[in-house]
Amino acid sequence: MTALTAVSGRRRRTDRAARGVLLALTGVALIPLVLVVYYLLKRGLGAISWDFFTTDPTGSFLGDPGGIKSAILGTIEIVALATLIAVPVGVLVALYLVEFGRGKRFGNLVRYFVDVMTGVPSIVFGLFIYIVLVTSSFVGVGFAGWKGGVALALLMLPVVIRSGEVVLLLVPDGLREAALALGAPRWKVALRVVLPSALPGLITGSLLAIARAAGETAPLLFTSAYVLGTSFNLDGRMNSLPLQIFSDVGQAQDRLVQRAWGAALTLVALVLLLTLIARLFQRRNRYT
Amino acid sequence: MTDQRISEETGAVAPPVQRLGVPEAAPAAKKVASEARAVRLEALNAWYGDHHTIKDLTLDFAANRATALIGPSGSGKSTVVRCINRMHEELPAARAEGRVLLDELDLYDRAVDVTAVRRAIGMVFQKPNPFPTMSIFDNVAAGLRLTSRKVDDEHVEGALRGANLWEEVKDRLSKPGIGLSGGQQQRLCIARALAVEPEVILMDEPASALDPISTLKIEELVQELKSRVTIIIVTHNMQQAARVADSTAFMLEGELVEVGPTEKIFTNPADERTERYVTGKFG
Amino acid sequence: MATARLHFQEELKGLENQCLGALDLVVVTLDRTLEALDQQDVELAAIVIADDDRIDGRYLEVQQGILSLLALQAPVASDLRVVAALLHVIKHAERMGDQCVNIAKLIPIVGHEPPKDAAMMEKIATMGRLARSEVAQSKQAFLLRDMEVAEDLVRQDAQINRLNREVFRRAVEIGTDVDVREWAMTMLLVARALERIGDNAVDIGEQVAFVVTGLFREFSDASH
């Protein structure tokens, strides 16, 4: 019988050393995060007030700078439009890739292009929309909120598709077989069986894509542009949080800079909220 | 609730199973009043990529009977049942040729719609696979909904009764299907298959993932269902084939070795290979 | 190829050996019985009677072994036929042992008297030899699964049956002396016991055919 000896001292020391190294490296990785949160809170909390959220920026340099109401609302509107475009399209493309395109040449081609899109810098999307929609007379020249939404949608699309594909692939083939064996046509299997099973995962993926898009600055620079007032007209210029930050942070006035930090804090809070919701959702629906 | 599908056997019905190459004079069996139909495979060949998985198979499955397919791993028995309801062709590299006849209709005929084939021939899988997002009721109704048919409560109840599951779930029809035990889930899948009113039910090792008591319940169910549907059951477990099937077919490396009444296969098989397999000398 | 179920195959073979070993015991017992009869040895007869316990014990062992095999190993096809056949064979062996005891019990009755009729004694001696040969042959037939050897038992048994009828006729025509008639009746019983041993051997032959072909067929009807 093999002797069940105690763990040698050397092994214990090695174990402790390894653990120490891992902890240290984790700490190092966390430092920037902690610093960012610290600075956000330190510089931005001062700007937070009820007025901050309920008044538009005034544009005045020396007088009352106003709040970020138009930026918040603008972000919500633009991102909502982007979501409405990107999520349905993205989910359907993911559905196609998994249910019909597996192994097919066209499916592989699509997947390849989606991968390419994932790597495209966000500013390129902005420029693309700028050239196609803003400067050309195709849909009417000029900056518009909806054009910003389209740019963000292009950004979100590959993320939704890729995460959607992962989630859909996790749905066990047994379910597809069961549905097919009942005599269901393939499209019904995809829409009525696979999609509902993967829904929690798809929602999570979409929420994360939204969170990412909400913070993008570059596309919006060329598409929805900066404006002071609150607008509900998507066909005109529209403010947004990233642009507000961009505009304020370089100003010489301290109060404006502080507003930038407050806006940044708000943006981070919004993204955090979305991520938390996504997490809660994921935990509640432990299936996939 | 009366279930008109329960048949009334009024005459002696002999098991009209034909032995390969030796057409037995089957006495004209009085047609039992149900929708169950006979299945006949004629010169069936199947490939998976380059691998010739089923070689020139000709085999009969009598209506209103349970026929078992036994054989070692890789003998092709699962492929056979998947060819019957044309699930085999869902695999990317798979191909099948030959005729599969449901009574007189060739299921592989170009004019036949594959989803119609699967509506007439139900399938129960090795691992129970109820739809996780659906309640028990919705699971049973799923087959009807997926094939654009009307759903009514009696239909669902009938299917659940047919699967011997009604008494256990009648008070919690709206609870999720995956909340049931393994054996109950499998009976739920059987109810789901029954709801579509198929003429044949294929079972691919339906009890191999279940505990012994659940296994016996499934076997009992097969005995009861025989009067309504034709059952073809693939099984690794020879004792199960012995308990449940009227006829047994033994397959080896894609070929049919022997088919006959179960009792004969297990007491005095004609082929040496069958003898060696059932006595456990190989496989 | 026969690598699977080695344990089961060994057990089955062991059971068969046990059962056929009983037939060896029967041969020994029959030899002793015939010698006791020939020598009018009452003590040897008593030994035969006492030793029947061994055959009975063997019967119980084999029966238990069969039950165990059926319950634990679920034999099918040819294995199942062998197991079923062994049950019959051990029963026949036990019956043959009982017939020897029946003969042995008759020896003290006539043991002290000299044999009254040489012809009848000779027939009975022949019957004894045939019976012994049949028992040994039935064992060989089963061991080798040899149908021809099994069917040959019928030929030998026909001779025993014929001799039995001759003994009967002889007893009928033996005369009027009461002592002689009494002796003759006792010898009739001995002949009948030997004939029954022969029948049991033929039955074992039928089991051989069952194991080999899967069909049960009576070699010769008892009504002939």
Domains and CATH numbers, chain A: 69-243 (1.10.3720.10)
Q: Which range (A106-120, B6-20, B269-283) has the least confidence?
A: B6-20
The per-residue pLDDT for range B49-105, each reduced to its tens digit, is 899 999 999 999 999 999 999 999 889 999 999 999 999 998 888 999 999 999 889
In angstroms, the separation between the Cα of residue C133 and the nearest Cα of chain B is 31
Provide the pLDDT confidence category of residue B33 given band limits of 50, 70 and 90: very low
Which residues in chain C are closer than 8 Å to B241, comparing Cβ atoms?
none
CB C81 to CB B242 under 8 A?
no
pLDDT at B262 over 60: yes
- Please tell me which residue of chain B has the smallest CA distance to C83: B267
- Most confident segment among A136-140, A246-250, B35-39, C48-52: C48-52
Residues of chain A above pLDDT 90, percent: 44
The per-residue pLDDT for range A47-68, each reduced to its tens digit, is 888 888 888 888 777 777 788 8
CB-nearest to B132 from A177, A183, A197 is A197
In angstroms, the separation between the Cα of residue A196 and the nearest Cα of chain B is 7
Give domain status of residue C1, yes or no: no
Rama region for B17: left / alpha / beta (φ>0; ψ in -120 to 50; rest): beta
Ranges of chain C whose pLDDT falls below 50? 1, 224
Kindly list the structural domains of chain B, giving each domain's residue range(s) and its CATH number in brackets, ordered by start. Answer: 39-127+202-278 (3.40.50.300)
Q: Residues B93-122: what's their mean pLDDT?
A: 92
Domain count, chain C: 1
Give domain status of residue C62, yes or no: yes
Interchain CB contact of B232 with A (< 8 Å): no
CB-nearest to C80 from B267, B281, B283 is B267
pLDDT at A3 over 60: yes
In terms of C-beta density within 10 A (0-12 exposed, 13-18 middle, 19 or more buried), how is residue C195 classed? buried
Residues 105-144 of chain B with CB under 8 A from chain A are 115-119, 122-123, 125, 127, 129, 131-133, 142-143
Do B141 and B195 form a contact (C-beta atoms < 8 A)? yes
Complex confidence, ipTM: 0.83
Cα(C199)–Cα(C203) distance, integer angstroms: 6
CB B129 to CB A174 under 8 A?
yes
CB-nearest to C81 from B242, B267, B281 is B267
Cβ within 8 Å of residue B246, ≥6 positions away? B15, B17, B62, B65, B66, B67, B226, B261, B262
The neighbouring-strand residues paired with B100 are B41
Do B44 and B99 form a contact (C-beta atoms < 8 A)? yes
Cα(C203)–Cα(C209) distance, integer angstroms: 10
Give domain status of residue C222, yes or no: no
pLDDT at B168 over 70: yes
Domain span at residue C31 reads 6-213
The per-residue pLDDT for range A245-269, each reduced to its tens digit, is 888 888 888 888 888 888 999 999 9
CB C76 to CB B281 under 8 A?
no
Give domain status of residue C223, yes or no: no
Q: Which range (A253-267, A272-286, B158-172, C37-51) has the least confidence?
A: A272-286
Which CATH number fits the domain that encloses residue C170?
1.20.58.220
Q: What is the pLDDT of residue A285?
A: 64
Which residues in chain B are closer than 8 Å to C74, comparing Cβ atoms?
239
Q: What is the pLDDT of residue A258?
A: 86
Give domain status of residue C123, yes or no: yes
pTM of the shown model:
0.80
Tokens standing for A167? Answer: 């989630």
pLDDT at B2 over 50: no
Q: What is the pLDDT of residue C117?
A: 82
Cα(A47)–Cα(A67) distance, integer angstroms: 9
Cα(A40)–Cα(A271) distance, integer angstroms: 14
CB B146 to CB A184 under 8 A?
yes
